[in-house]
Chain A
Amino acid sequence: MRKLSWFNTVTLSLGFAFLYLPILILIIFSFNESKLVTVWSGFSVKWYGELFKNEAFLEAAWVTLRVGIISSTLATVLGTMAAFVLVRAGKFLGRTLFSGMIYAPLVMPEVITGLSLLLLFISIGVDRGLMTIILAHATFSMCYVCVVVSSRMSQFDESLDEAALDLGCTRLDAFFSVTLPIIAPAVISGWLLSFTLSLDDLVIASFTAGPSATTLPMQIFSSVKLGVSPEINALSTILIGLVTLGVISASLSTKRVKTRKNLH
């Protein structure tokens, strides 16, 4: 391990401070005794307790959880199917267009995605609520799943599938008993990624949610407008924990595949 020069140490520290100092301050103040957010008066976990008594927040958390689980499951199924076709089907007519269109939503401004989905839901006369948020989240996060899964699929030895067919499997059986178990780490990490994305989305949810369903980020945003309470700090700390956990397990499950591959 090389020792960093003083210049590199300073730039690195400044960079990390720039990125993480605000979050660190938020986490510290979530344990503040005082009701005033900016004045430290001692350590306490009482705001976490308050949080779990707040009906509105609990209700929003439940909505967010349901949206996250259902939309990322939907996105994972669709994204894996898209990845399968992109990698396996060879050169079919419109392949380039299709793969371009799969990746485009990754760079699409969220406002536009949200607005266009809103217009779609209005024009086909769907009542906005939990279902529409789920659909919207599945739409944008399936692209991420597709990227993750197709990078794994492209390293997949196709003769494994052929071996399964040769040994008596139907195509469907071969997919579930050979392909899926082998690409599972990528599929799981795709699911975790889309769950994380769904968890912290505010813009698209604001466009597609109706009065009946409010997600946690929406709830936080609207209460911040009335002034930042220490409760929000506590809630944000929990969210940061969840997102960190999601991202770390996603990267671990991809990494595990890599190390196992190196053993070969």
Chain B
Amino acid sequence: MNHTKPLTPHHFAPWQDGTSKPLISFSNVSKTYGDFSAIDNVDLKIYPKEFFALLGPSGCGKTTLMRMLAGFEEASTGTIEIDGHNMKGVPANKRPVNMMFQSYALFPHLSVADNLAFGLKRSKMPKSEIDGRVEEMLRLVQLTKFAKRKPHQLSGGQKQRVALARALAKSPKLLLLDEPLGALDKKLRQETQFELVDIQEKTETTFVIVTHDQEEAMTMATRIAVMDHGKLMQVGTPDEIYEAPNSTYIADFIGDISIISGHVQDIENERATIIWDESQTPIRGSFERNVTKGTQAHFAIRPEKIQISKTEPSQGYNKIFGQVEDIAYTGNMSTYFVRLPNQKLITSQMVNDRRISQRSITWEDHVWLSWHDEAGIILAK
């Protein structure tokens, strides 16, 4: 999560604007195989020029949802529209959509240039323009020198770029990317993330990406849909998903988080108060709208938003005491695992702004954890 998104303009938010027309709209879409429900009543709108990520564990239905857009799967019920047209019964080769496959699916018997020209030859593009377009795509992915190579003569990263160029060659309205960075090593993956965003902005194509890697989704996407068991759990911008998850499932799925469960004692002035342990002070914080007074609720807070100190903070709430059980030192950060008297483990993460020898907190120390009102969120479920 240590990347910023330099290429995503802040004012781009068509999903908030009631007048903008979605490129894709799923209405009540379900897909069942016998008794098994792969997609469960999905309603979703994706807008032009979005970089939209479908995120979730394997088997959550994200790939099925993408394959429905490509035309490889039909919805059992509900309608899918692309650019205002109902896609029911429209085969894959008639859709304004192209897909970049997880295995890249480069044609092994064709050269890089012929792979790129493959789709163009089957479109209405005149022969004379095809070479120019292939040239342009090769330049876009910086593979001009490799035009005559066969796929098996390329490295993994080069294959990935050929696959991307081939899918973009026909200037589709919508590009689907199935785990596009899954086969690359970590360093190459980070570089490629920025390259993908860059290419998306240059070509002004709508991207829908399927990934199980939350960091990848956070870095690249304008919006993320988190899926589980065929349902959309939450749809929002990366910061909404991270800062304001709508359930403990989302909170737990994205990044590290500590969750404290308790009883809602009071709600006033946009703040809810939770009682959770006799010996500790109550927790007060902003809450999600389903939280009601007198019910069970869960307080979720990220490790980096918790301060750790050896002296008791002066505030009357949002502080807990415990004992340092373990410290994980990762260079720029230290993560403290603090055991509370009720045996719960809370993690706090601090930037190491001093040298390790000058650190005051060590193993077995009795410490206070504290945070301000806006640091965490109180969730109903």
- Give the residue name and chain of the A residue nearest to B119 (CB): A167
Flag whether B70 is at the interface (Cβ < 8 A).
Answer: yes
Check B58 for interface membership: any CB of A closer than 8 A.
Answer: no
B62-82 at interface with A (beta carbon < 8 Å): 70-72
Interfacial residues of chain B within 60-108, with CB under 8 A of chain A in the complex: 70-72, 91-93, 97-99, 101-103, 105, 107-108
The reply on B170 being an interface residue by CB < 8 A is yes
B152→A264 contact, CB < 8 A = yes
Partner of B93 from A170, A182, A260, A263 at Cβ < 8 Å: A170
| Complex Cα–Cα for A263 and B155 (A) | 11
Stretch at the interface among A8-16, A120-128, A157-165: A157-165
Whether the Cβ atoms of B107 and A160 lie closer than 8 Å is yes
Contacting A162 at CB < 8 Å: which of B97, B105, B108? B105
| Chain B CB within 8 A of A168 CB | yes
Asked whether B91 lies within 8 Å of A159 as measured between CB atoms, the reply is no
CA distance A39 to B123 in the complex (A): 73
Is A178 part of the binding interface, using a Cβ–Cβ cutoff of 8 Å? yes
B3 beta carbon closer than 8 Å to chain A: no
- Note all chain A residues with C-beta closer than 8 A to B93: 165-170
- Residues on B with C-beta less than 8 A from A163 are 99, 101, 105, 107, 166
Chain B residue with the shortest CB-CB distance to A168? B122
Q: Is the CB–CB distance between B103 and A162 below 8 Å?
A: no
Contacting A159 at CB < 8 Å: which of B102, B108, B122, B167?
B102
How many chain A residues touch the partner (CB < 8 A)? 20
- Asked if A173 lies at the interface with its beta carbon under 8 angstroms from chain B, I say yes
B109 and A260 contact, CB distance less than 8 A: no
Chain B residues within 8 Å of A178, by CB: 107
- A167-B118, A169-B122, A182-B108 in contact; A162/B92 too (CB < 8 A)? yes
Q: Which residues of A contact B123 (CB under 8 A)?
A: 168
- Residues from chain B with a CB closer than 8 A to the CB of A164 are 107, 118
> What CA separation (Å) do A169 and B120 show in the bound complex?
11
Question: Bound state CA distance, A160 and B103, in angstroms?
Answer: 9
Residues of chain B contacted by A169 (CB below 8 angstroms):
93, 122
A167 in contact with B170 given A159-B105, A162-B72, A162-B105 (CB within 8 Å): yes
Q: Which of A164, A170, A264 has the most CB of B within 10 A?
A: A164
The one of A157, A166, A168, A181 in contact with B99, judged by C-beta atoms closer than 8 angstroms, is A166
Q: A159-B105, A182-B108, A260-B152 are in contact. Are A166 and B122 (CB under 8 A)?
A: no
Contacts of A181 in B (CB 8 A): 109
Q: Is the interface of B mostly helix, strand, loop or mixed?
A: loop
CB-CB nearest in chain B for A263: B152
**Closest A residue to B91 using CB positions:** A165
Which of A166, A173, A263 lies at the interface centre, i.e. has the most chain B CB atoms within 10 A of its CB? A166
Q: Which of A124-174 contact B (CB under 8 A)?
A: 157, 159-160, 162-170, 173
- If the complex has contacts A159-B103, A182-B108, A182-B109, are A166 and B70 also in contact, measured as CB distance less than 8 A? yes
| B-side contacts of A165, CB under 8 Å | 71-72, 91-93
Which A residues are CB-close (under 8 A) to B105?
157, 159-160, 162-163
Mask of B136-171 contacts with A, CB within 8 angstroms, 1/0: 000000000000000010000000000000110010
Q: For the complex, give the distance between the alpha carbons of A163 and B105 in Å.
A: 6
What is the CA–CA distance of A263 and B98 in the complex, to the nearest angstrom? 28
| Closest A residue by C-beta to B166 | A167
Bound: A163/B97 CA distance, A: 11
Task: List, in ascending order, chain A residues with CB within 8 A of B98's CB.
Answer: 166-167
Contact of A168 among B101, B108, B109, B119 (CB under 8 A): B119
Q: How far apart are the CA atoms of A157 and B166 in the complex, in Å?
A: 18
Binary per-residue interface labels of chain B (169-192) against chain A in the complex, 1 for a CB within 8 Å, 0 otherwise: 010000000000000000000000
The distance in angstroms between the C-alpha atoms of A168 and B70, with both chains bound, is 12
Min Cβ gap A16→B in Å is 38
- CA of A175 to CA of B363, assembled, Å: 66
Chain B min CB distance to A55 (Å): 46
Distance (whole angstroms) from the CB of A264 to the closest CB of chain B: 5
Separation of A211 and B102 alpha carbons in the complex (Å): 60
Say whether B91 contacts A167, CB under 8 Å: no
Looking at A168, A177, A182, which has the most chain B CB atoms within 10 Å of its CB? A168
How far, in angstroms, from A169 to B123 measured CA to CA in the complex? 9
- The residues of A that contact B72 with a CB separation of less than 8 Å are 162, 165
Q: Could you say which residues of chain B place their CB within 8 Å of the CB of A264?
A: 152
- Residues of A contacting B101 in the complex (Cβ-Cβ under 8 angstroms): 159, 162-163
Closest residue of B by beta carbon distance from A167: B119
- Kindly name the residue among A167, A173, A182 whose own CB sees the greatest number of chain B CB atoms within 10 A: A167
CB distance from A198 to the nearest CB of B (A): 29
Bound together, the chains give a CA A157 to CA B109 distance in angstroms of 13
Contact with A along B293-316 (1 / 0, CB 8 A): 000000000000000000000000
Q: For the complex, what is the distance from the CA of A157 to the CA of B163, rounded to whole Å?
A: 15
Known: A165-B91, A263-B152, A264-B152. A157 touches B103 (CB 8 A): yes
Instruction: Chain A residues near B102: list those with CB within 8 A.
Output: 159
A173 surroundings in chain B (CB, below 8 A): 122
In the assembled complex, the Cα of A264 lies from the Cα of B152 at a distance in Å of 5
CA distance A159 to B92 in the complex (A): 13
Contacts from A to B (Cβ < 8 Å): 157, 159-160, 162-170, 173, 177-178, 181-182, 260, 263-264
18 new A-B contacts at CB < 8 Å, known A164-B107, A166-B99, A182-B109: A157-B105, A159-B102, A162-B101, A162-B105, A163-B107, A165-B72, A166-B70, A166-B98, A167-B118, A167-B119, A168-B93, A168-B123, A168-B170, A177-B118, A181-B109, A182-B107, A182-B108, A260-B152
Q: List 11 A-B contacts (CB under 8 A).
A: A157-B103, A159-B101, A162-B105, A163-B107, A163-B166, A165-B93, A167-B98, A167-B118, A167-B166, A168-B93, A177-B118
The 5 closest A-B pairs by CB, nearest first: A167-B119, A168-B122, A163-B105, A159-B105, A165-B92
